[in-house]
Amino acid sequence: MKSNKRPDIVKGLVHQKFRGEGDPLSEVFQRALRRPRIFKNREVMRSDYVPDRLPHRDEHIRRLGEILAPALSLSRPSNVFIYGKTGTGKTAVVRYVFKRFEEVAEKENLPLAFAYVNCRISGTEYKALSELCGAIGVRVPFTGLSKAEVYNRLRKGLREKGLLLVACFDEVDALVKSYGDNLLYELTRINEGMEGGGLSLVGTSNDLHFKDYLDPRVLSSLSEEELVFHPYTAMELVDILSERAELAFHDGAVPQNVINLCAALAAAEHGDARRAIDLLRVAAEVAERNGDERVEERHVRIAQSIIERGRVFEALSTLPLHSKLVLTSLLLLTKNGVNDPISGMIYQTYREVCGLIGVEPLTDRRVSTLISELDMLGVVKSDLVNMGRRGRTRKIVLLTPPDEVEEVIGSDEVLASLLNYTPSIARK
């Protein structure tokens, strides 16, 4: 592929030059030289960046610090449970506090260790456990041991080294929902009969009903202390963005009205700081690519649609094959002027489409649940209608813009060939 492309470009350049259309690179150079006008430090706008200051979270930082403070005198801090929706600063606060504690521990040469485990990323109990082991310098193979063995090694490591480990289980609800609260139960009991060293847990969850999933025993020991993070207000988001913007961008590249707009848009969506920062970053990237001197409100609007489109694309392209085929069938019917397709039409088209690409079709019953799932995802809308003699069925409407669906289908090399097909129902 690559080797094919290069000669083309070269040919193009030479061609242009001979035709006397000026130096094709000069514009590229100019644009590239103009670029640094906007971004000063890209890192700052990345989602995993831990800032030195967290506006409007001083109180939470102090509270968490107070709770964990006993660690510095080597007594085990209470376990903490932190609630708050996404983008309310839970992770940032924990990482910030951990970082500061680590600095002190190192300076004072204290036997303290801090671990941060993102339960959504380290998806299994085994992985979470082995990360805890890693944090105290106990090596475990990435597979091959039973969970109980890893647990024992962790316990042994803590005891022998006399280490006090403070571990954050970020988004712990993800772990509990797929594996139950067994691991948490075991971990809260690890300190029993241990002198010197031990384990304190910090759990975070963005599901406020998470407590309901927990065994009362786990709940009581895990939430010895609780912290609640409220969503940021638009004003607070303005402060956060301003602070980041000052580090990330050159003077004057991001005017106040742009920051205000990003803050307002994110505040309207549950005060999610991450969204606000993403929005500003993408807007800046758009401006940069355009070769504009500064970020403007229109860039933010474009950024908003890019992010939204990205989300849709992500959601649709990770759908299982048959869901995609159902969606393709609906798309084809809509494109070919069949208004208000009903279940039967979609199933018939689905079978045709399956035949075209040589896939064994599922039963209508199964397809019916696939449609329900798409409905729940908000990709389609299905309404129950009674057509008297002609039965009772569901009318299904595509909620996602057809061109976005087409983009996803088209990006799959097998499905792309279906886009030109006309369903038999539409031919009549």
Partner DNA sequence: CCTCCACAGGAAGCGCAGGAGT
Partner DNA sequence: ACTCCTGCGCTTCCTGTGGAGG
Which spans of this chain sit near DNA (rule: CB under 7 A)? Answer: 125-126, 146-148, 320, 322, 342-345, 347, 361-366, 368-372, 384, 386-394
| 37/33 Cα distance (integer angstroms) | 9
The torsion angles phi and psi of 118, rounded to 5 degrees, stand at -90, 110
- Minimum gap (Å) between residue 289 Cβ and DNA: 39
Q: Smallest distance from the beta carbon of 184 to DNA, in angstroms?
A: 15
Identify residue 367 by its one-letter amino acid code: V
Residue nearer to DNA on the CB measure, 50 or 414:
414
Residue 387: alpha-carbon gap to chain centroid: 43
Q: 194 exposed, middle or buried (CB, 10 Å; 0-12, 13-18, 19+)?
A: middle
What's the min distance (Å) between Cβ of 143 and DNA? 9
Given a contact cutoff of 8 angstroms between Cβ atoms, the answer to whether 228 and 206 are in contact is no
Residue 190 or 396 with smaller CB distance to DNA = 396
Read off the amino acid at residue 96: Y
CB of 180 to DNA, least distance (A): 8
Q: Which of 224, 286, 225, 207 is nearest to 254 (CA)?
A: 286
Considering the complex, state which of residue 69 and residue 321 has its C-beta at the smaller distance from DNA: 321
Which tokens in the block code for residue 107? 């300076």
Give the number of other Cβ atoms within 10 Å of residue 388's Cβ. Answer: 6
Q: At its nearest, how many Å lie between DNA and the CB of residue 9?
A: 42
Q: How far is the CB of 355 from DNA (least distance, A)?
A: 14
Q: In the complex, what is the shortest distance from the CB of residue 334 to DNA, in angstroms, rounded to a whole number?
A: 17
Token reading at 101: 């504690």
> Is the Cβ of residue 73 or residue 363 nearer to DNA in the bound state?
363
- 226-to-15, 63, 89, 205, 229 alpha-carbon distances in Å: 69, 10, 15, 11, 10
CB nearer to DNA: pick between 49 and 179: 179
| 302-311: long-range pairs with CB below 8 Å, 24+ | 303/279, 304/265, 304/279, 306/282, 307/278, 307/279, 307/282, 309/404
State the nearest-atom distance from the C-beta of 220 to DNA, in Å: 25
Sheet of 225-229: strand order equals 112-118, 164-170, 198-205, 80-84, 225-229
Which residue's CB is nearer to DNA, number 51 or number 361?
Answer: 361
Whole-Å CA distances, 176 to 179, 200, 208, 228:
5, 18, 14, 20
* Cβ-based nearer residue to DNA, 125 or 296: 125
Question: Which residue lies nearer to DNA by CB, 132 or 265?
Answer: 132
Of the pair 46, 366, the CB lying nearest DNA is at: 366
Using the minimum distance from each CB to DNA, give the nearer residue, 237 or 319.
319
Q: How far is the CB of 68 from DNA (least distance, A)?
A: 31
Q: What residue type is assigned to position 395 of the chain? A: K
Q: Can you name the residues that pair with 84 across neighbouring β-strands?
A: 229
What letter would DSSP give residue 378? Answer: T
CA end-to-end distance (rounded Å), the chain: 42
Packing angle of the helix pair 402-410, 297-317 (nearest 10 deg): 60
- Minimum CB–partner distance for residue 200 and DNA (Å): 25
